[in-house]
Amino acid sequence: MTTELILTLNAGSSSIKFALYEAHEPMRVGLRGQIESIGGAASLQLNAIGAPKQVRPVDVTDHAAALSEILKVVGSASGGARVIAVGHRITHGGPDFSGPQVLDSASLDRLRRFIPWAPLHQPYNLEAVDGAARVFPGAIQVGCFDTGYHRGHPWVSDAYALPRRYYDAGLRRYGFHGLSYQSVVAQLTDIDPNLANGRIVIAHLGNGASMCAVKGGRSITSTMGFTALDGLAMGTRCGVIDPGVLLYLLQEEGLTADALSRMLYRESGLLGLSGLSSDMRELEASQSGPAREAIDYFVHRIRVELGALTATLGGLDCLAFCGGIGENSAEVRSQVCRDLDWLGIALDDAANRESQMRIGLGRTPVFVIRTDEEGVIAHAAMSLLTR
Ligand code: ADP
């Protein structure tokens, strides 16, 4: 390894992903890994280039313990090399933060204001910045915002039809998964620049799930809004809901705001509908009726949004799937794409079963793209270092 490294940290609700890159062009990743199921049966996965993948249980009960375990692993993997930048996925940048930037105490104070806007992610993102700054005091800390990619979208995609003062106070449709969408668009550009410049719908389907309409390489609209609750049903989040339901639960059922928040973020979506699991692999393996219905609902919402995003784009030149479900579930992709001849979409069943990169047979190409948020973060950190 070189003597200078860039570390990326991507802290989610129950996992922290990380990667270690050589800090020179062409940037190469030396180590990737993650701690999953923090607070439960946590495990550390390590993928060092040229070595077999390792998975081992780790005794971490919270994010702080997981972060300190990761920073220990990174410390020993880096040998004598110096970490000169740590790039962080920051979920919510609010109205002010769009492009990547070096974080200082003033920007961190501003970003803390958005913790209630992304309660499953933002606190852990900011804890990771503090933890990394303590362990690598000589490194710059770079924030890359999941909302950033969408900040240029049109006003109609930015607003809610509430009294105007709320828009001015920051209640807007931000959209998330921007680092993933950037990664997919960059990969599509390498594959076919003309296509990547056209009208694309990207479905990022993981524990968190959203879709984005991209035109000329830019986000036009996305299914998530002010928070990462809106749009598609997710592992444990409800997705789109009639606001009247929320009023009813508060006013008639007497739910407290905390109980409602817990239900919408942690007890709904695939888990709530199936009563079984938030994990698509378990639902696909189950014979239970509610598990089937949960998958059907998940797919139905994707198809509804595909229609809406296609209308917003004025047509569709390409559909791309990414995220843990989008990259791996042939069943979900096949259900989403059924009877879409009117959109020029037909799947090559064999290619779909093998999760190949190109899975379409019709006039509208369909791709499975392995998203690389870490790569986007590392390149952003590198460009700030060399600026
Ligand atoms: P996160 O939003 O936490 O980053 P991921 O992108 O890792 O989530 O996606 C996790 C989801 O991907 C889980 O629902 C998991 O079951 C699903 N998944 C992973 N591999 C497969 C597979 N082979 N088939 C179906 N679903 C899969």
Cβ atoms of 86 and 142 within 8 Å: the answer is yes
- Mark whether 231 and 303 lie in a shared domain: yes
Res 350: pLDDT: 98
Range of the domain at 64: 4-145
Output the CA torsion sign for 65, 60, 120, 320.
positive
Q: Which atom of ligand 1 is nearest to the CA of 283?
A: 16
Among 86, 111, 145, residue at a domain's last position: 145
Residue 27 lies in a domain: yes
Residue 336 lies in a domain: yes
Cross-strand bridge partners of residue 322: 204
- Mark whether 296 and 220 lie in a shared domain: yes
Tokens representing residue 245 in the block: 């339901």
- Mark whether 139 and 285 lie in a shared domain: no
Ligand 1 centroid to Cα of residue 149, in Å, is 23
Residue 166 lies in a domain: no
* Structure-derived torsion over alpha carbons of residues 110, 71, 204, 330, reported in degrees to the nearest 10: -170
Q: Whose Cα sits closest to atom 25 in ligand 1? A: 329
Q: Where are the alpha helices (DSSP H) in 286-337?
A: 289-313, 323-328, 330-336
Residue 50: how many CB atoms within 10 A of its CB?
5
- Mark whether 76 and 210 lie in a shared domain: no
Sheet holding 218-222, edge to edge: 218-222, 209-215, 199-205, 318-322, 366-368
146 is catalytic: yes
- Mark whether 115 and 209 lie in a shared domain: no
Instruction: Indicate the residue type of 13.
Output: S
Q: Which atom of ligand 1 is nearest to the CA of 208?
A: 2
Ligand 1 centroid to Cα of residue 196, in Å, is 25
- Mark whether 136 and 220 lie in a shared domain: no
Which one of 280, 283, 302 would you pick to mutate in the ligand 1 pocket, going by the greatest count of ligand atoms within 8 A of its CB? 280
Nearest CA to 143 among 174, 107, 109? 107
- Mark whether 206 and 335 lie in a shared domain: yes
- Mark whether 245 and 135 lie in a shared domain: no
The CATH number that applies at residue 39 is 3.30.420.40
- Mark whether 203 and 93 lie in a shared domain: no
Residue 376 lies in a domain: no
- Mark whether 26 and 100 lie in a shared domain: yes
Which one of 43, 265, 328 would you pick to mutate in the ligand 1 pocket, going by the greatest count of ligand atoms within 8 A of its CB? 328
Within 8 A by CB and 6+ apart from 355, the residues are: 327, 328, 330, 368
Residue 182 lies in a domain: no
Ligand 1 centroid to Cα of residue 325, in Å, is 5
Catalytic residue among 59, 109, 146, 242: 146
Ligand 1 centroid to Cα of residue 327, in Å, is 8
Q: CB under 6 Å to ligand 1: residues? A: 12, 15, 206-208, 235, 279-281, 284, 323-325, 328-329
Nearest CA to 139 among 387, 372, 384? 384
Among 90, 116, 145, residue at a domain's last position: 145
Residue 153 lies in a domain: no
3-state DSSP call for residue 43?
Answer: strand
| Per-residue confidence in pLDDT tens, the chain, 387 aa | 558 999 999 998 889 999 999 998 888 898 999 998 888 899 999 998 888 999 999 999 999 999 999 999 988 888 888 999 999 999 999 999 999 999 999 999 999 999 999 998 999 999 999 999 999 999 999 999 999 999 999 999 999 999 999 999 999 999 999 999 999 999 999 999 999 999 999 999 999 999 999 999 999 999 999 999 999 999 999 999 999 999 999 999 999 999 999 999 999 999 999 999 999 999 999 999 999 999 999 999 999 999 999 999 999 999 999 999 999 999 999 999 999 999 999 999 999 999 999 999 999 999 999 999 999 999 999 999 987
How many domains are contained in the chain? 2
Dist CA 377 CA 86 (whole Å): 9
Ligand 1 centroid to Cα of residue 298, in Å, is 13
Q: Whose Cα sits closest to atom 22 in ligand 1? A: 328
**342-345, long-range: CB < 8 A, 24+ apart:** 343/306, 343/310, 343/316, 344/316, 345/316, 345/319
Which one of 295, 325, 370 would you pick to mutate in the ligand 1 pocket, going by the greatest count of ligand atoms within 8 A of its CB? 325
Residue 177 lies in a domain: no
Ligand 1 centroid to Cα of residue 48, in Å, is 21
For the residues of 63-132, what is the DSSP string, one character each? HHHHHHHHHHHHHHHTTT-EEEEEEEEES--TTT--S-EE--HHHHHHHHTTGGGSTTTHHHHHHHHHHH
Within 8 A by CB and 6+ apart from 1, the residues are: 22, 30, 78, 79, 81
- Mark whether 120 and 216 lie in a shared domain: no
Dist CA 19 CA 8 (whole Å): 5
